Structure formats: C-alpha cells, structure tokens
Amino acid sequence: MDEEPKTDSEPKLTVSSSPHIYTTESIPKIMYSVVAALMPAFIGALYFFGWRALWLTAIAVLVSIVTEAIIQKFRKVDITVTDGSVIVTGILLAFNLPAGVPWWIPAVGAFFAVAIGKHAFGGLGFNPMNPALLGRAFLMASWPVHMTTDWTNPHGGTLSGLAAITGSTPLAVVKDAMKDISDGVNVEGAQSVLESTRDLYFPLFWGRVGGCIGETSVLLLLIGAIYLFYKRYIPYQIPVAYIGSVIIIAWIFGGEGYFSGDWIFHVLAGGLILGAFFMATDMVTSPSSPKGQWIFGLGCGVITMVIRLVGGYPEGVSYSILLMNLLTPLLDRYTRPKVFGA
C-alpha cells in the first residue's frame, strides 16, 4: 500500500521465470564422465603402445587446453577450459593418431581442432563438426605419410594381426586383397587373406592388433560406452544405427559375392567402435531428435562402408562422421517429432 523504502529486515527476493529448481547435471559432469569413459581405452593404449601413447595424448590435451585459454582470453570471454570439453577433444584427437607419429603432429592437430574446429565457429555449442575429427582430417591432408605409415606394433601383437603381413593395418590388408581379386592378380593369395580375417576376431576384440592409439581394444572401449549408457549421456539410436548399417552393408557387399561379407571383422577392425560410441555421439554435432539420430547413425554407416569398400582410403569412420555432422542442423529441422495432439 505504501511505497516507503523497505527496511533491512525485508528480504531481497529474486524474480525469474519458472522453473525454479534444476537438475544437478551439468556440462562439466557430462564432459568429465566422457573423459572417465575413455580411461579404460587409454590405459589399454599405455599397455599396447607404451609411454609413447601417454606422451602423445598429453601433448594433444595440453595444446588443446592452452589454445582454448589463449583464444578465450583474446576474445575477452570466460575461460572455460575447466568444463572438460576441450580435454575430451584433446584425448579423442590423440586416440585417432598412429602411435609412431612425431610429437608435433598431435600439437598441430590439437591447435587446429580447437582454434579452427571449435573457436572459429564460436566455441562450445556452435561448432558444426567434431573438432577432434576435423583436426585429424587436417593432419591427414597435410602429412599423409606420417598419418598412414607411422604405425607401431602393439604389445603382444602385430600391426596387421597376420603373421605373414607387416606394415599395414587389417583394413588396409583387406582392401588390398579385395583390389587384387577384382584386378585378377594374386587371386589365391588374396582369397586366403580374406579367409584369415576370421582368425582376427579375438585379437581385434582384445586390442592386440595395430591401429590408432585409442581404437585398438573393442573390449575396453565398450566398458566406457556402457558407463556412458548407464549415465544416459549418449543416445542408443546413433551407435545402433551406425553399427547396424555397417553390419548389413558389410554382410551384403563386403565379400567376394553378395551376402558373404565378413561383417564381424568390419565391426571389430578400425575405428568403428571408437567412432560410433564416442565421436558420432558428440552432442553438439549430432541431432537431438530421435528420428534424426537414427538417420545420422545410418548415414555414418553407409558412408563408412562406401569408403571402406570402394573409396580411396582403407578406413572411413572419421570422414563419415564429419560429413554427417554437416547434415545435423538439417536433420534436426526436418525430423522434428510430431507435437502431442497434432
């Protein structure tokens, strides 16, 4: 009634829009959970590739953090390196490198991933593509020799997993064999190589076959993935659609004739498990509508297999995800769920 100045005992109340209570979830909680989920594979990497894995990963993470901090300082915005997202980027970049690359490869890659992949677009939430994968693509384009030949043998195993072949990853071996068959050279040898992929299932599952730092052990990656599912930090639609379509396409088109492909090999080899659970599921660059997530996963699977079976590279996981990242805004726009009662 009276507009007298309020006394000190009068409470100063905050007025804001509802809701007035909130979840305890936060971006740092999600990001550090992803870091934790990557730890089994990281420990595995230390076992398989030794101190080099630690060294390269540490460089990638450190350069990522420093790059983000410097850019944010220059942009005069809050420095958010503690939210964990840039640490995830650093780890994932390192996980996508061969263990034999020189030290400056992860440094340059991390700088590109964070500066161009993330902050050129406005930082967390605004980057159209997965920064770590963009960093890797940059490295592949700039130093292809390092990126495709600096492999090291994993502890207790060989690069190809096959005793007779050295200097090549299993996917590259299979790709060469397929090419030999279609070219009609060394057909018998190539056929025996294709048949021998069956013997690789267990080595691939444990991680005793060569590859990038973080992608070798399916088992350790799955442990992390299960944790993320349990925390509900990743949607099931994307990995199910991704791996499912890889299985179907590999089975139909991956062999000498139709419906004879070794789909188990295609699931276990290369970076599919790392990509499907940890990179295609990156929240910022994948759709938020469930239908969009199905299509996103399917697209990743199709592009991966097109690259693996007919493209120029033995492996297509990272390019497939990058390409589908670019479709994410459109997928979200055109796969909106039907409004209740509409």
Partner 1 sequence: MLHILQKTFKGGIHPPENKDISAAKPIERLPLPGYVVIPLQQHIGKLSEALVQAGDDVVTGQPVSKASGFVSLPSHSSISGKVKSIESFPHPLGQKVPSVIIEGDGEDRMSEQIKFQADYMSLPPDEMKRRITEAGIAGMGGATFPTHVKLSPPQDKPIDTVILNGAECEPYLTADHRLMIEHTEEIVEGFRIILRILGVSRGIIAIEKNKPDAIFLFEKFTKDDPNLELLPLKVKYPQGAEKQLIFASTGRRVPAGKLPMEVRCLVHNVGTAKAIYEAVAYQKPLIERVVTVTGAVKEPKNIRARIGTPLRNLIEFCGGFVGTPGKVIMGGPMMGVAQYTIDVPVIKGTSGVVVLPSEQVREMRLQPCINCGRCVKVCPMNIMPNLAATYIENNLWEEAKSAGALDCMECGSCGYVCPAGRNILHNIRFGKFMILEQEKASKN
Residues near partner 1, by CB under 8 A: 1, 11, 13-23, 25-27, 29-30, 122-126, 235, 283-290, 293, 328, 332-333, 336-342
Identity of the residue, 191 or 289, whose beta carbon is nearer to partner 1 in the bound complex:
289
State in angstroms the smallest separation of the CB of 40 from partner 1.
Answer: 23
Identity of the residue, 103 or 230, whose beta carbon is nearer to partner 1 in the bound complex:
230
Identity of the residue, 76 or 338, whose beta carbon is nearer to partner 1 in the bound complex:
338
State in angstroms the smallest separation of the CB of 283 from partner 1.
Answer: 4
Identity of the residue, 2 or 188, whose beta carbon is nearer to partner 1 in the bound complex:
2
State in angstroms the smallest separation of the CB of 41 from partner 1.
Answer: 22
Identity of the residue, 23 or 74, whose beta carbon is nearer to partner 1 in the bound complex:
23
Identity of the residue, 11 or 257, whose beta carbon is nearer to partner 1 in the bound complex:
11
State in angstroms the smallest separation of the CB of 62 from partner 1.
Answer: 24
State in angstroms the smallest separation of the CB of 300 from partner 1.
Answer: 17
Identity of the residue, 25 or 256, whose beta carbon is nearer to partner 1 in the bound complex:
25
State in angstroms the smallest separation of the CB of 151 from partner 1.
Answer: 35
State in angstroms the smallest separation of the CB of 221 from partner 1.
Answer: 21
CA distances from 105 to 49, 56, 58, 139, 309 (A): 17, 9, 12, 7, 28
Report the 3 state secondary structure along the chain: CCCCCCCCCCCCCCCCCCCCCCCCCCHHHHHHHHHHHHHHHHHHHHHHHCHHHHHHHHHHHHHHHHHHHHHHHHHCCCCCHHHCHHHHHHHHHHHCCECCCCCHHHHHHHHHHHHHHHHHHCCCCCCCCCHHHHHHHHHHHHCHHHHHHCCCCCCCCECCCCCCCCCCCHHHHHHHHHHHHHHCCCHHHHHHHHHHHHHHHHHHHHCCECCECCCCCHHHHHHHHHHHHHCCCCCCHHHHHHHHHHHHHHHHHCCCCCCCCCHHHHHHCCCHHHHHHHHCCCCCCCCCCHHHHHHHHHHHHHHHHHHHHHCCCCCCHHHHHHHHHHHHHHHHHHCCCCCCCC
